Every structure is written in structure tokens, then in C-alpha cells.
Chain A
Amino acid sequence: MASNAEDQQNQQGGHKEVGHKSLLQSDALYQYILETSVYPREAESMKELRELTAKHPWNVMTTSADEGQFLNMLLKLVNAKNTMEIGVYTGYSLLATALALPDDGKILAMDINRENYELGLPVIQKAGVAHKIDFREGPALPVLDLLIQDEKNHGSFDFIFVDADKDNYLNYHKRLVELVKVGGVIGYDNTLWNGSVVAPPDAPLRKYVRYYRDFVLELNKALAADPRIEICMLPVGDGVTICRRIK
């Protein structure tokens, strides 16, 4: 059908606007999930942060509401307490995490840009969970290398969420697989990259999509072959690969 083909082209061109970013067969189906199961359950603070973020020019970067709900549930199911997040933006997934952890839970949160985090921080503070967050501004690799140097940090994280520069995911992974505990979880976001992982060579992709696509493809192959983890590639949001460390 004409409109479907057009939609597909648009979809593969660049990520769709916030609130409509999904890999599903139709936006209608995605809205159904949001309206039926996500929005009625969304914490007030998450709604506030989502609406605030929607006004930001880079809002397409934000974690979607259904993914936030999934992360929140996953964290509770694994009784996570000590977590890490690489890539914060305005803090939607950070807030989802902070709300899920117990009162003495901790999140080491890293982003190269503090400004966006500070946009969302008042909402996180109002929700009464800011005390769980240790925010570090700057690139993540140096911080990870520092952590790695100290043996006592090895296997100390229950859950790590990576939603940042795709060309560094594999570099992060080398360190994170030591830092997460055996039985713990690392989640890599955007692993289906707007569906572009299967786009034909001549597809009209936005520059940034095309540039990072190779890195995403490499990451997916590497994770699938990594014997230290079990994996599960979920089509939530832009695709999130859940990795459970087994050794």
C-alpha cells in the first residue's frame, strides 16, 4: 500500500518523532500499547519529565515511555540495587531506574552533557529520588577504566543501561562485562537502529543513521557470539538487547 511504503521510507530515513518511535507494523498499534498499558500507569514524575523533554530539540533521543516501563519492571524483578547508566540526556530512563530501586539503591550516571541532565533534575528531585544518583559529566570510558583498575569494583553492579554513542558500545562492553556481577544484566539500547539493520544498501538513510549502523551491526554480532553472556534482543523502543552475565 502506498502509505505504508512511504511510512517505511520515512521510518528508515530517520527516527520518528517522540511518542511515535517504534518498530511496530503501525503507529496505531504502538499508540494502543501506550494508551492501554503505559500512560495510565506512568508515574506523575515520569509524565512530567516526558512532557518537558518533548519540547527539547533533541527529544528523539529520549527513552520511550514503554521502554521506561519495561526497565522499571525489570529492575524490580531482579531486585537491582547498584546500577549504572551511560547516556542520560534529560533523565527519563534514569528516573524510571531511580523509582524502581530501593531507598538505599545507587545509580552511577554518566553523560558528556550535564546541561540536559539539569533540565530534568528538578523533576527527579521533586520525586524524592535524586539522592540515589551520582552524576558524572564527561566521557564514560575513562571512568570505566578507573573502575576496572580496582578489583573491588569487579562484579559490583546489578544492572547497567547503555544508551549512548553507538561507536563506543563495544569498548564499553569490554569493561562492563567485568563490572556487572555474574547473573547481572547489561542492557544496550538502539540495537535495531530504527530498523536500518536490514535496510538495503541503496535505502535513503539519514547520515547519522547510516554512520552508526555499521557499529550497531558489529555490536549485535559480537554480543551474539560472546560466551560470557546470554542475550535477548527485544523490539521494545528502538531495540534493546538484554545481556545476562553467566561467567
Chain B
Amino acid sequence: MAANREGQEENKDRYYKTLHGNKTLLQSEKLYEYILETSVYPREPQCLKEIRELTDKHPWSAMMTAPDEAQFLSMLLKLINAKNTMEIGVFTGYSLLATALAIPDDGKILALDITKEHYEKGLPIIQKAGVAHKIDFREGPALPLLDQLIQDEKYHGTFDFVFVDADKNNYINYHKRLIELVKVGGVIGYDNTLWGGSVVAQPDADLDELILGWRDSVQELNKALAVDPRIEICQLSIADGVTLCRRIG
């Protein structure tokens, strides 16, 4: 990949247009649209719609959590009575807002992203929805912060739910820490674990550099999660693939 920032931006643009050129991993876009039109959009809160429409104009719009996935996360959070959560990778805050709407009024979300530029675009909408007080946003790379939390015993096992939707090459590093921070019985969700379907592409397939670059990380992560005895897993084919990990030990 190009070393300079401009080159990286270019690559990102290409990636987000190609990988997510296929809007779905399902057998047809029509089927995906059916799910959205029948069960998702009619139920989508106005504020989420607003963030989605704002984000659609962004060149990296494909990075946004899919609306069907956000609906699923929202239901999951309610089903497990989540109160203390974490999100790594915020972008404009679509899944963050979905989370904030799902947890109780005294619920908390520790939200991490290397930049607050996009978060600040979504924040007014989150504020208007009356749930911004639940969010503790930290700008910067996640690993140093996780290491800080890990150092203090009192944070171990304190999170009900953690959602990771960030740099795939670091997922396995996040996992080493998150497994201590999430409570026993709690859930970590890793996003994009089917990576546009590239996990089964032929080795010599003509894939974008960025996709290829992270594909190995995703495949390694999937293998590692599958054999981790401290969790039970479920790899859901919703959106770009999300693997739920329930801590058992």
C-alpha cells in the first residue's frame, strides 16, 4: 500500500467501493432489500435514519454498520440486559446510537476511535436523541487504552457487551484484552468476519490490496476464536459476518 497519507486515502476509497460493491453476502441483493424493506426500515428510529442518510453521503459510507446488523445488535443488547458496554470503531456513530438507544438510561458506552472527525458529524443527532450522556468517547488507538484498563483489576469482567468494528489486523490483539474485560456470560461481537466473502476466494483471486491485506488477519482471527476455550462462538452471516463470542471461563 502507498506509504503517504494521500495514497492511503485513495486506497481506502477504492476498497470501500469494491469490497462493499456487493451490498450483501446473501444470494441476491433483492433478498437483502426485502429484509430491509419488510423488517428493518419500518422499525428504524428516526434518529438512526438521520445518521444513515448523513453517512450515505460520505465517500467511506460502506464502513457504516449495516442497518439490519444494527437492528440485531439492538435486540441482542435488550435480550441480555446490557448496561455497561464498549465499542471499538465508531465512524459516524450508527451502531453507537443503536446501542445507546437499547441500553437503560444509566447505561454506559466506552466508545473508541482513532479519530473523532466522523463521530462529531453524528454527535448532534445522538444528542438530539437524548442519549449522548451514556457515551464516553475517547479519540486515539484502542490498544493503549485497553492496556490501561487491563492493568487495573477492578475493570476485569465489568463489560456486558463489547462490539469491535475496527482495524482487522488488530482484532486478535484486542481479543487478548477484551476476554479479560468482558464479564463471564458477557458477549464480544467481532464485525466483518466474513470479509466480503473473500475468506473463501481463491489464493490468486484479483482482490483489492486492502482486502487482501486484511483477509489473512480475518482468517487467522476466525481460526483463533474457533479454538479459544474461554468462549462459545456463533458466526452469523448477517451483513459482512459478525462473530458473537460468549465468555464462559
Query: Could you tell me if B72 and A234 are in contact, using CB atoms closer than 8 angstroms?
Result: yes
Query: Could you tell me if B27 and A25 are in contact, using CB atoms closer than 8 angstroms?
Result: yes
Q: Give min CB distance, A21 to chain B, whole Å.
A: 12
* Bound: A26/B76 CA distance, A: 27
Contact A224/B43 with A78-B80, A242-B75 known, Cβ cut-off 8 Å:
yes
Query: Could you tell me if A24 and B31 are in contact, using CB atoms closer than 8 angstroms?
Result: no
Q: List residues 206-249 of chain B with CB under 8 A from any CB of chain A.
A: 222-223, 225-227, 232-238, 241, 243-244, 246
Which one of B32-40, B89-97, B114-122, B123-131 is at the A interface? B32-40
A232 at the interface (CB under 8 A from B): yes
Q: Which of A29, A69, A185, A230 is within 8 Å of B43, CB to CB?
A: A230
Query: Could you tell me if A33 and B30 are in contact, using CB atoms closer than 8 angstroms?
Result: no
Query: Could you tell me if A23 and B31 are in contact, using CB atoms closer than 8 angstroms?
Result: yes
B79 at the interface (CB under 8 A from A): yes
Q: Give min CB distance, B77 to chain A, whole Å.
A: 11
* Bound: A77/B34 CA distance, A: 28
Contact A41/B226 with A73-B234, A78-B79, A232-B75 known, Cβ cut-off 8 Å:
yes
Question: Interface residues of B toward A: which range?
Answer: 35 or more
Which one of B55-63, B165-173, B192-200 is at the A interface? B192-200
Query: Could you tell me if B246 and A76 are in contact, using CB atoms closer than 8 angstroms?
Result: yes
Q: List residues 29-85 of chain B with CB under 8 A from any CB of chain A.
A: 30-31, 33-35, 38-40, 42-43, 68, 71-72, 75-76, 78-80
Q: List residues 22-55 of chain A with CB under 8 A from any CB of chain B.
A: 22-26, 28-33, 36-38, 40-41
Query: Could you tell me if A37 and B233 are in contact, using CB atoms closer than 8 angstroms?
Result: yes
Q: List residues 1-34 of chain B with CB under 8 A from any CB of chain A.
A: 22, 24-28, 30-31, 33-34
Query: Could you tell me if B226 and A36 are in contact, using CB atoms closer than 8 angstroms?
Result: yes
Query: Could you tell me if B30 and A198 are in contact, using CB atoms closer than 8 angstroms?
Result: yes
Query: Could you tell me if A37 and B243 are in contact, using CB atoms closer than 8 angstroms?
Result: yes
Query: Could you tell me if B233 and A232 are in contact, using CB atoms closer than 8 angstroms?
Result: no
Q: Give min CB distance, A189 to chain B, whole Å.
A: 15
Q: Which residue of B lies closest to A244 (CB)?
A: B75
Query: Could you tell me if A195 and B72 are in contact, using CB atoms closer than 8 angstroms?
Result: no
Q: Give min CB distance, A110 to chain B, whole Å.
A: 24
* Bound: A232/B36 CA distance, A: 10
When distances are taken between beta carbons in the complex, the residues of chain A under 8 Å from B199 are 29, 32
Query: Could you tell me if B39 and A224 are in contact, using CB atoms closer than 8 angstroms?
Result: yes
B187 at the interface (CB under 8 A from A): yes
Q: Give min CB distance, B50 to chain A, whole Å.
A: 20
* Bound: A29/B80 CA distance, A: 29
A236 at the interface (CB under 8 A from B): yes
List residues of chain B with CB under 8 Å of any chain A CB: 22, 24-28, 30-31, 33-35, 38-40, 42-43, 68, 71-72, 75-76, 78-80, 187, 194, 197, 199-200, 222-223, 225-227, 232-238, 241, 243-244, 246
3 closest A-B pairs by CB:
A37-B235, A233-B39, A198-B30
List residues of chain A with CB under 8 Å of any chain B CB: 8, 11, 22-26, 28-33, 36-38, 40-41, 66, 69-70, 73-74, 76-78, 185, 192, 195, 197-198, 220-221, 223-225, 230-236, 241-242, 244
Known: A192-B35, A232-B72, A233-B35. 18 other contacts (CB 8 A): A8-B27, A23-B26, A23-B27, A25-B25, A30-B237, A31-B200, A37-B235, A37-B243, A73-B234, A76-B232, A220-B39, A221-B38, A234-B236, A235-B35, A236-B238, A241-B39, A242-B75, A244-B79
